[in-house]
Structure 1
C-alpha cells in the first residue's frame, strides 16, 4: 500500500536524490542533530528553517509543504497510466491494483492535470470494481478538467459517465445524460479539438441508434464522417462506417451497403487493421442470412471466411450465430440447433442492435425446434426471445422475432 510522505520524509528523500549528507544540507544554520530530528518527524522546523532547507535543496518551499508533491504525483500517475493501459489479456485484478495505487492520493488534491487524471482513473477503477462511490471522484475530475480547460479528457469523461447508464441498458437515460454533458462542453469550451468532436459525434450517434432515433443518429453520423474527412482525422472513421453500413442494411439500401462496406474494406487495407476487414466479411454473410435470406450462398461464404473470422475473438460468437441461421435456411435443423446453442453473448455487448442480432439467432433456434416438431422447446425459446426483444427499438431483427412468435406460439 502506498503512503503519502510526511514533511520529514520529503526532506530526506530530496536530500538523498541530490546525494547530500546531513551535514551538507544542515550547512551553517542548522545542526546535523536537529536536521535528523526534522527528517524523522521528531521536531517541527520553523518557517525560516523551511525556507533555508528549500533553498539548499533548490526547490520551492511549497514543494516541502504540499502533502503530495507535484513530482510525487507525476511518478504515481506514470505508474497508474501504465497499469490503466494494460490490455485485457494482461489484466490481473487491474482495477483493484489501480485503486490501491491511487487511493492514498485522492483527497485534498490541488488543481493540476496530474490531480484530475488521478481522480479520473480512480473513479473509473471504483466503477469497474462495483463500488457505489465512483461518481464522486468522476465529478471532481470533471470539475477540475473544466477549471483547467482540458477538453479532451473532459469529453472522454462525458462519454464514460453516459456509458455507465448504457451498460445497464438504460438507453434513454444514457442519451439524456450524454446530451446534457455535451451541451455543457459546448458552452464551456470555446474550442473543441477535432478528435474530441468526432468522438462525441460518434457516441451521440450510437446513443441515438440505441433508442431508435435513427434519423437523428444518421444525421450526426454523416456530419461526423464529413468532418473527419475535412480535417483528415481517421482514428474513428471505421466505427462511423460501421454505423453507416448497419443503418443501410436495416433500410435494405443495397447501394449504400455496398458503398460503406467497401469503405470499411479500404480503411482496413490502408491502416493494415484486421478488424474492419473482419467486419466487412461478416457483413457479407449477415446480409445474406438476415436480409436477403440467401442461405445457401451464406453457407458457402461462411466456409470460405470461417478460418479468417475465427481469428477475431469479437466475431466468433457472431459467426456461430450466422452459421446456425444458414444451416436452418438450408434445412439442416439438427446442425443449426447444435451451432445456435453454442452462441454466447460476451459481457461487453450492450448495444440494442448487437443484442438484437443475437436474439434473432434465438428465433432461428426456436424455428429449428419447430421444424423438427419439438413444439414445447420451440415455444419456450420463442417466448423468452420475445421478452428479451420487447424493450429494444424497432428493427428488422425485432420484426423477425415477432413473426417467429406468431408462427410458433399463436
Structure 2
C-alpha cells in the first residue's frame, strides 16, 4: 500500500512525521496518508517523494521512468509551449498503456496540449487519464482532468455539454476528497455559474454564486471573488434590483482592486453602462461610462456596441443607434429587441 510504503521509508530514514510533513502538510494529514485513510494528490505525492529523497515512481512502484520527460514538459508548460508538449508525447502515448499514475499524468498532459491546439480525438485521452487516476484513488486529479475538458467545451460555447461535465464532477467526486480542496470547489461553482448565465438560467446561476460566497467566508479562501461577485450581480440586474446589483458590483470591484486584477477593473465602466441602460434609464450616464470603457480599445466588443446603441436609442438618436448596432455580430433582431 502507498501509505505503508511512505511510512516505512520515513522510518528507515529516521524522519519524524513533523519533519516529513514540513510546511506543506499537517502532521494529522500525513498520519492519515500513512494509515491509508487519505490519498495524496499527485502534487502532494511529488512533495513527499522530494522530502524522502526519491521519485514518485518509487513510491508507486512504477516500472517505466517517465520523470525526465515529465520534467521537460513541466518547463514547456511554464512557457505555454503546447506544441512542444504535444510533439514529445505523441511518440510516447498510446491507448493501451499500463494503468499507473505516471501514465495517467501523461494522458492528461497530452490531452490538455491537444485540446489547446484543437487536435481531434482528445476526449478519449481525457477519459483514460481520469479513469487511471480514479483507479489509483487520486480522485482530485481525476476531477481536475475532467475539468480541463469542461474548460475546452466552455471556450467553444458548448454550454450544455460543459454543464453536464461539471455535474458529473460534482456528483461523483463529492465525498471522495473534493471537499478538501476549497479552490477546486470554488472553480466548479464559478464555472457552473458562468455556464448557467450563458443558458439564461439567471436565478440558478445566482444561487451557485451565493454558495461560492458562503464557502469562501467559511474557509477564508478568496479565489476569484471579483468574478464570483460580478457573475452574482447578473440576477439582480435582470430583476431590476438596483440596490443588490450595486452592492455586488461594489464587492466585485473591491476584490479586483485587492487582487490587482487590471483586466477586471477595465470592465467596470461597461457594467455601470449596462446598469444605467437597464435600470436607471439615464442614457447620458451610460454613454459617459461607455466612453470611459473605450479608453482601452482592445476591450471593445459586441456588448459595448450593443449598449452604446441602446443608449443612443434611449436618447432618440435612432440613425446613430442603428449604425452602431451594425457592429454587433449577433442577429440584427437581437439589437432591435434589446432596444
Q: Say which of 49, 65, 72 aligns to 1:69.
A: 65
Deviations 1:138-163 (A, max 9, x none): 11111222234444443333333334
Q: 1:97 to 1:74 in 2, by over 3 A?
A: closer
Deviations 1:218-271 (A, max 9, x none): 222201111112212122211211111112111111111110111111112212
Q: 1:70 to 1:98 in 2, by over 3 A?
A: closer
Counterparts of 2:256 and 2:194, CA distance in 1: 21
> How far off its partner does 1:272 sit?
1.8
Alignment partner of 1:329 is 2:314: yes
- Which range is displaced more, 325-334 or 135-144? 325-334
Q: 1:306 to 1:213 in 2, by over 3 A?
A: closer
Contact 1:149/1:189 (8 A) holds in 2: no
Q: 1:195 to 1:152 in 2, by over 3 A?
A: farther
> How far off its partner does 1:164 sit?
4.5
- SS of the residue 1:272 aligns to: coil
Bigger radius of gyration among the two:
1
The answer for unaligned runs of 5 or more in structure 1 is 1-58, 87-93, 345-358, 363-380, 386-396, 405-410
Q: 1:214 to 1:122 in 2, by over 3 A?
A: same
Alignment partner of 1:136 is 2:124: yes
Counterparts of 1:111 and 1:233, CA distance in 2: 35
State TM-score, norm by structure 1: 0.59
> How far off its partner does 1:111 sit?
5.4
Counterparts of 2:312 and 2:163, CA distance in 1: 38
Aligned to 2:32: none
Contact 1:208/1:217 (8 A) holds in 2: yes
Deviations 1:103-148 (A, max 9, x none): 1121355556553333112113333444331111111111222234
Q: 1:221 to 1:190 in 2, by over 3 A?
A: closer
Q: Say which of 168, 172, 183 aligns to 1:184.
A: 172
Aligned to 1:105: 92
State TM-score, norm by structure 2: 0.70
Q: Say which of 224, 230, 234 aligns to 1:236.
A: 224
> How far off its partner does 1:290 sit?
3.5
The answer for unaligned runs of 5 or more in structure 2 is 1-54
